[in-house]
A and B are shown apart, each in its own frame.
Chain A
Amino acid sequence: MSPAGLALAATVLASASGLGGLALHRRPALGQRVSAALLVGGALLGIAAALPVLLGGPTSLLRIDWGQPHAALALRLDPLAAFFLVPVLSVPALGALYGLAYWPQAEPGRRGARLQAWYGVLAGSMAAVVLADNALLFLFAWEVMALGGFFLVRSDADRKDAQKASWIYLAAAHVGSFALFALFAAVGGARGSFDFAAWAALPATGAGWLAVLALVGFGIKAGIVPLHFWLPGAHAAAPSHVSAVMSGVLLKTGVYGLLRTAGFFEAPPAAWGGLLLVLGGASGVLGVALALAQHDLKRLLAYHSVENIGIITMGVGLAMVGRSLGDPELVLLGFGGGVLHVVNHALFKSLLFLGAGSVQHATGTRDLERLGGLARAMPWTAGLFLVGAAAISGLPPLNGFVSEWLVALGAVSALDLPAFDRAAFVVLVAPTLALVGALAAACFVKVQGTVFLGNPRTDDAARAHESPRAMLVPMAVLAAACVSIGLLPSLLVPALSRAAAAWAGVPVERLAPAAGLAAGSAGMVSVVASVLAGALLLAWLARRRLGSAGASTTWGCGYAYPTPRMAYTGSSFAQILNHGFRWALLPRVRLAPPRGIFPTGARFSTEPREAVLDLALVPAVRDYVQATSRIRRLVAGRLHLQALLVLATLVAMLAWRLLWW
């Protein structure tokens, strides 16, 4: 079977995986196992399909005509699609394994079978989006994906916040879909075909509004600031293995769409790349700034997705600038860094969300200030979470470092541009990345420290227990993937350069010098990693032969009875940086200061707000609804007024048609 055929089989298998649970509703535990097995099978098939393409095989096509005009089941598995296909199928599979213990269908009242069904549909539709070679097929899969996400966010339909978040998600997803319908209709109409193959080499001049449509449509899905407003709520409300899929891979379909659409255009102007760089930088900095202020573990992780999408967008922006300048280094390093970060973020973000799920599973809370000291009760979870935390902070020798490093190297490689070229300012991406990386590290020191280290802050945290093996193994697989990519990044460079060449429409040889540079340096990263390991070993040996003089309590600087309530909280930890970013957080501060000589009660609380949603969209929609409801009250029950409205609309449209068309 051709790789595309295998990929189709994987898609079908994944989509249908949930049916097992629906059919075996008498034996829910078995049904769930069947579903998980089908998803794992689908993921293995998907990897089997993607590997030959990544290793240099030809692009694989598959076309089944439906007899409908313009629509066809046309699939294309090229290197770009292959890079997305692997995480899109394997993260849901690992999530399903995790779900066996985390969200057992056997437990009553959890609507587990329904969740499993939509879960499979979501995985399958994401694969279909990535593989689609026809605009109508793409849109169909895109819609199914949005619906799947909607029902998955509502899995906990009894919870108010889940309901609210799911509706916001649905509305945002449809605004995006609307933009995509317009985009594809315009391009398809101009080209007379809805096959992506026919869309190659679109002229970029005068196509600015198409670029804006693509940016809105895909940007909402990806969560680029300021289109990220739906994301934190939805990702926090969903069950954790669903959050892992949504944050880890669902967002990436937006990036995929941006890349795919950018690939259609011939010689995009540098301004498009520049816009992506600015938006990416804003997403990176604001995403991590908002994350730092969160108290809810899963909301915090969701904001980090905004940050990482920002890093990816900066990589894509660099590649776009590189295409318009004809600079192969920028194309390769920007694209390679961006796409590799897509894969890396899928790995460590789903690892972190699964870890957050384990914490919630063990303690019943996601509130950072109510956790603490979990590393004693859950050593494995703590260790695996630490791998994810270090990876997302971009620390060597893990995978997050490699992709951020490629993007930074791409930015700095623009330094050989001649002076007076404003494109040389893309080099500012490098310090932006440094800022984002350092802030992310600060945030994950806060998370790891307040959740797993120190003493338990509440009884819930003190009663925590280690997760069952079904939850640990998927996390261990993800952590192992993070470490392996971090240690041996040079192996990925050839595949990345083939994908970049196909995307930019240049022969691979053109990118070869840049790829050589990247592979050589990536090899040196491995060398440095082994030096680090050696140094660590030496230091450990130097320390090991010495004894311990026993245990004691923590030095409390003279406090006789330090209690866990005195330990530094997550909010205190982030206070300096939150204060610096208060212009972006616009926190709601409630302060009842102590008064008098013998103050009684004093309270202080801050709550970060989602500025775009809470301060702009919600008030605007509320005003709109109020205004329209006034009209509705006026015309309610009065047929002649309603008819008048229809008539007025018709006349207005006629006038527009006659006068301005």
Chain B
Amino acid sequence: MILRAIFQIGILLVLPPLLLGVVNRVKSVAAGRTGPPLLQLYSDLWKLIRKDVVYSRTTTWVFRAGPLVGLAAVATAGTMLPVAGQPALLAFPGDFVLFAYLLALARFATALAALDTGSSFEGMGAAREVSFASMAEPALFLVLVVMARATASLSLSGMLGPALAPAWKAAAPALLLSAIALFVVALAENSRIPVDDPNTHLELTMIHEVMVLDHSGPELAFILYGAAIKLFLFGALFVRLVADVGVAGFWAAEVAFVVELVGFAILVGLVESGMARLRLTRVPQMLVGASVLSVFALVLLLR
């Protein structure tokens, strides 16, 4: 039992940077490049964590707290996420609300840290981040509510647990619609193309990256690591929802889960390779569309 818990925490903490490596690798291959090694982000993090920090003279403790709170909140949210269909470490009715609000806490801290620099670019990024997040949040909630209804469960562990397979038999269309909505939300929340381009270097067009321009050293490492964990969280939600393969046994299920996650990363990479970034005015459209899709899914279940 304890061993399994440690293993789950281990997956949560160790695997995420690999996912980003896969995404980048897929993008490189699709563009005809070799690309960075799969484990690039691990070495980046290791390099950054040993560096010193440079602070702007404008900043206060809020700037220093931002990355810490961001990472801690995202990691804490991970303790409520069931891994590979096993109940999460902390599972209770209503935990999905806390899960979503912890992600909001991370965003709140990061955006405040961005404003603490007094830079107009970082203000711009923070404004976009919180604005788009306020459209993504209802969509995420709607998806979770659809899952709650379909599985008759009020906790994430129940929603993504054994009740999911019968729910697919009973309400496949609704779950399919909400899975599409969840994927859109995942792209938006993790600042991936077509919402945001994590590789761009033009500050005017960026969202998440421009918010963290001034962070350096270990704090930048925390931010990169937190972003990787967030992608992992959404990936785990998504693959569990769409690909609930009935593998028996704890270890087999864990392996299948990791394989699925890599598949999710490949999917994200393919989407990023195949699509252009949307104009910023189009992003609300996409997110509202995702909300409407999941409202439709909910209505299908409720009627």
Residues on A close to B: CB < 8 A? 372-373, 375-376, 379, 382, 386, 390, 393-396, 401, 405, 408-409, 412-413, 415-416, 419-420, 424-425, 427-428, 430-435, 437-439, 441-442, 444-446, 448-450, 452-455, 517, 520-521, 524-525, 527-528, 531-532, 535-536, 538-540, 542-543, 546-557, 562, 564, 566-568, 572-577, 580
Determine if B58 and A532 form an interchain contact, defined as CB atoms under 8 angstroms apart: no
Q: Which residue of B lies closest to A411 (CB)?
A: B145
Determine if B138 and A445 form an interchain contact, defined as CB atoms under 8 angstroms apart: no
Determine if A521 and B93 form an interchain contact, defined as CB atoms under 8 angstroms apart: yes
Determine if A408 and B108 form an interchain contact, defined as CB atoms under 8 angstroms apart: no
Determine if A416 and B118 form an interchain contact, defined as CB atoms under 8 angstroms apart: no
Q: Which residue of B lies closest to A537 (CB)?
A: B72
Check A543/B123 contact, CB under 8 A, given A409-B97, A420-B303, A442-B131.
Answer: no
11 A-B pairs in the complex with CB atoms less than 8 angstroms apart = A375-B60, A382-B60, A438-B136, A441-B130, A442-B133, A453-B116, A520-B92, A536-B69, A539-B222, A568-B115, A568-B124
Determine if B138 and A568 form an interchain contact, defined as CB atoms under 8 angstroms apart: no
Determine if B92 and A536 form an interchain contact, defined as CB atoms under 8 angstroms apart: no
B72-116, CB under 8 A of A: which get 1 and which 0?
110110011000000000101111011011101101100110011
6 new A-B contacts at CB < 8 Å, known A455-B58, A542-B218, A562-B118: A373-B58, A376-B60, A430-B145, A431-B145, A438-B133, A453-B60
Q: Which residues of the other chain, A, contact B73 by a CB distance below 8 angstroms?
A: 532, 535
Task: Please list the 4 inter-chain residue pairs (A to B) with the smallest Cβ-Cβ separation, ordered nearest first.
Answer: A568-B123, A449-B115, A454-B118, A438-B134
| B18 interface contact, C-beta 8 A | no
| B293 interface contact, C-beta 8 A | no
Give B42-85 interface residues, CB cut-off 8 Å to A: 49-60, 62, 67-69, 71-73, 75-76, 79-80
Determine if A572 and B123 form an interchain contact, defined as CB atoms under 8 angstroms apart: yes
Q: Chain B nearest CB: distance from A579 CB in Å?
A: 9
| B213 interface contact, C-beta 8 A | yes
Determine if B118 and A564 form an interchain contact, defined as CB atoms under 8 angstroms apart: yes
| B234 interface contact, C-beta 8 A | no
B268-303, CB under 8 A of A: which get 1 and which 0?
000000000000100010000001000100100111
Check A434/B112 contact, CB under 8 A, given A454-B58, A554-B58, A580-B284.
Answer: no
Interface SS of A by simple majority: helix
Q: Which residue of B lies closest to A288 (CB)?
A: B134
Determine if B127 and A568 form an interchain contact, defined as CB atoms under 8 angstroms apart: yes
Q: Which residues of the other chain, A, contact B79 by a CB distance below 8 angstroms?
A: 528, 531
B202-226, CB under 8 A of A: which get 1 and which 0?
0100000000011001110010000
Report the Cα distance A517→B76, complex, angstroms.
Answer: 22
Stretch at the interface among B146-154, B191-199, B235-243: B146-154
Residues on B close to A: CB < 8 A? 49-60, 62, 67-69, 71-73, 75-76, 79-80, 90, 92-95, 97-98, 100-102, 104-105, 107-108, 111-112, 115-124, 126-128, 130-134, 136-138, 140-142, 145, 148-149, 152, 154, 203, 213-214, 217-219, 222, 280, 284, 291, 295, 298, 301-303
Report the Cα distance A487→B158, complex, angstroms.
Answer: 25
Check A531/B133 contact, CB under 8 A, given A427-B302, A548-B55.
Answer: no
**A425: contacting residue among B56, B71, B302, CB under 8 A:** B302
Report the Cα distance A532→B73, complex, angstroms.
Answer: 6
Report the Cα distance A642→B115, complex, angstroms.
Answer: 67
Determine if B94 and A521 form an interchain contact, defined as CB atoms under 8 angstroms apart: yes
Determine if A551 and B90 form an interchain contact, defined as CB atoms under 8 angstroms apart: no
**A412: contacting residue among B69, B148, B222, B284, CB under 8 A:** B148
Q: Which residues of the other chain, A, contact B80 by a CB distance below 8 angstroms?
A: 528
**A434: contacting residue among B49, B100, B102, B298, CB under 8 A:** B100
**B222: contacting residue among A405, A437, A449, A543, CB under 8 A:** A543
Determine if A535 and B72 form an interchain contact, defined as CB atoms under 8 angstroms apart: yes
Report the Cα distance A548→B115, complex, angstroms.
Answer: 21
Report the Cα distance A573→B115, complex, angstroms.
Answer: 10
**A454: contacting residue among B67, B68, B117, B128, CB under 8 A:** B117
Q: Which residue of B lies closest to A543 (CB)?
A: B218
Determine if B118 and A373 form an interchain contact, defined as CB atoms under 8 angstroms apart: yes
Determine if A517 and B127 form an interchain contact, defined as CB atoms under 8 angstroms apart: no
Q: Which residue of B lies closest to A398 (CB)?
A: B105
Determine if B119 and A554 form an interchain contact, defined as CB atoms under 8 angstroms apart: yes
**B76: contacting residue among A382, A428, A535, A556, CB under 8 A:** A535
Report the Cα distance A393→B112, complex, angstroms.
Answer: 13
Q: Which residues of the other chain, A, contact B115 by a CB distance below 8 angstroms?
A: 445, 448-450, 453-454, 568
Q: Which residues of the other chain, B, contact A396 by a CB distance below 8 angstroms?
A: 98, 101-102, 105
Report the Cα distance A379→B117, complex, angstroms.
Answer: 16
Determine if A441 and B118 form an interchain contact, defined as CB atoms under 8 angstroms apart: no
Q: Chain A nearest CB: distance from B110 CB in Å?
A: 10
Check A573/B101 contact, CB under 8 A, given A528-B80, A554-B58.
Answer: no
Determine if A435 and B214 form an interchain contact, defined as CB atoms under 8 angstroms apart: no
Determine if B68 and A543 form an interchain contact, defined as CB atoms under 8 angstroms apart: yes
Determine if A524 and B137 form an interchain contact, defined as CB atoms under 8 angstroms apart: no
**A552: contacting residue among B57, B101, B295, CB under 8 A:** B57
Determine if A546 and B218 form an interchain contact, defined as CB atoms under 8 angstroms apart: yes
Determine if A531 and B90 form an interchain contact, defined as CB atoms under 8 angstroms apart: yes
**B56: contacting residue among A432, A521, A543, A551, CB under 8 A:** A551
Determine if A408 and B119 form an interchain contact, defined as CB atoms under 8 angstroms apart: no
Q: Chain A nearest CB: distance from B104 CB in Å?
A: 6
Q: Which residues of the other chain, B, contact A425 by a CB distance below 8 angstroms?
A: 302
